[in-house]
Amino acid sequence: MTARLADIAAQAGVSEATVSRVLNGKPGVSATTRQSVLAALDVLGYERPVRLRQRSAGLVGLITPELENPIFPAFAQVIGQALTRQGYTPVLATQTPGGSTEDELTEMLVDRGVAGIIFVSGLHADTSADMQRYERLRARGVPFVLINGFSDRVRAPFVSPDDRAAAQLAVTHLVALGHRRIGLALGPQRFVPVQRKIEGFLRSVHEQLGLGPAEATRFVEHSLYTLEGGQAAAGALIDRGATAVVCASDMMALGAVRAARQRGLDVPRQVSVVGFDDSPLIAFTDPPLTTVRQPVPAMGQAAVRALLEEIGGTPAPHSEFVFLPELVVRGSTASAPDTAASPVPPQAP
């Protein structure tokens, strides 16, 4: 028991005496400290004493669309750590092809009495989805926060990167390298982050290259947020003459590198590629990927803070917390090849 108390105390960051008071139901322990000790029990795999088991037990649900894209495990790690520090136990629920839907995962978490839910890149980002599902969740008294993808039809706090600024950062970098035919590879049109990246891209190529919407849109290609999707989209853009491709995810960017190499083109000497996210390990690809870093730690912590305010009875207003991304230059971008150095002819009036 002494060894167990020491382990729990170290995990919770409290004294063994405090752990003993919590386990024995003694007074004199704050609610936050008590939750920290209970969370430490969960993390270390110890069963809670029966008298301390509650329906909610400090659980917070985290729903992600998948885990194959490394950006989602990165969000899960940041959010999970932030919740654990506050005495809550994160419950990760992930959608898989042919598996549970977002609605089914939500119902499962609600049935287990979670104190709140954080949605990462969920249906709230899909402009074609029915947003009433979130109003029904709110009516059941379950606080929630949404990451990536704003909707004015959902009364909840949103946390997002500045997708317009992300596209502008990438375009500005490539224009400075002499590129004039810059492509944009991204996911389906119906998603809010996609729409915002297109807005930033069109504005940036207009301001910096003088391209009108018709000419610029010719270099926008929609596909899937996968390596294969990036390969297909980038291949189409390269075939149209693009010497650089901005991708809406790092996975798509790896597909873009593959598309260039399939055509016998060197990255970055003949085709430059920019990703988005700065996913874990992406700096170690061949070549190391230039990307726009999504501020995951700051976004994850902000989502947790907003959710805990909701749980505590002081809900945040229906608002969006927007975080600025950062360009990380590595080895997948370089000066434009000589054949692409001349400006694109302006559109006819």
3-state helix, strand, coil in the chain (%, to 5): 45, 15, 40
pLDDT tens per residue across span 201-238:
999 999 999 999 999 999 999 999 999 999 999 999 99
Q: Element (H or E) spanning 85, and its range? A: helix 71-85
Band of residue 23 on the pLDDT scale cut at 50, 70, 90: confident
Q: What is the mean pLDDT of residues 172-193?
A: 97
Crossing angle (nearest 10°) for helices 16-23 and 31-44 = 90
Domain boundaries, the chain: 2-52, 59-161+295-324, 163-293+328-340
Higher pLDDT, 314 or 195: 195
pLDDT tens per residue across span 247-293:
999 999 999 999 999 999 999 999 999 999 999 889 999 999 999 99
pLDDT tens per residue across span 171-180:
999 999 999 9
Cα separation, 252 vs 223, in Å, equals 9
Higher pLDDT, 51 or 170: 170
Band of residue 50 on the pLDDT scale cut at 50, 70, 90: low
Are 2-52 and 59-161+295-324 in the same CATH fold? no
CB 116 within 8 A of CB 310: yes
pLDDT tens per residue across span 300-340:
999 999 999 988 888 777 789 999 999 999 999 999 997 43
Higher pLDDT, 5 or 205: 205
Q: Please give the pLDDT value at position 343.
A: 41
Report CA 140 to chain centroid distance, whole Å. Answer: 26
Cα separation, 119 vs 137, in Å, equals 12
pTM for the complete prediction? 0.80
Give me the CATH code for the 59-161+295-324 domain, please.
Answer: 3.40.50.2300
Q: Please give the pLDDT value at position 55.
A: 41
The CATH architecture that domain 163-293+328-340 belongs to is 3-Layer(aba) Sandwich (3.40)
Q: Which long-range contacts (CB under 8 A, 24 or more apart) does 124-132 make?
A: 124/149, 124/150, 124/151, 124/154, 124/158, 125/149, 125/151, 125/191, 125/192, 125/193, 126/190, 126/191, 126/192, 127/151, 127/190, 127/191, 127/192, 127/195, 128/190
Question: In terms of C-beta density within 10 A (0-12 exposed, 13-18 middle, 19 or more buried), how is residue 215 classed?
Answer: middle
pLDDT tens per residue across span 112-163:
889 999 999 999 999 999 999 999 998 888 999 999 999 999 999 999 999 9
pLDDT tens per residue across span 52-95:
554 444 899 999 998 888 999 999 999 999 998 888 999 999 98
Q: Please give the pLDDT value at position 76.
A: 95
Instruction: List strands edge to edge, sheet with 220-222.
Output: 220-222, 182-186, 244-247, 272-277, 290-293, 326-328
The DSSP call for residue 140 is: T
CB 333 within 8 A of CB 176: no
Give me the CATH code for the 2-52 domain, please.
Answer: 1.10.260.40
Band of residue 349 on the pLDDT scale cut at 50, 70, 90: very low
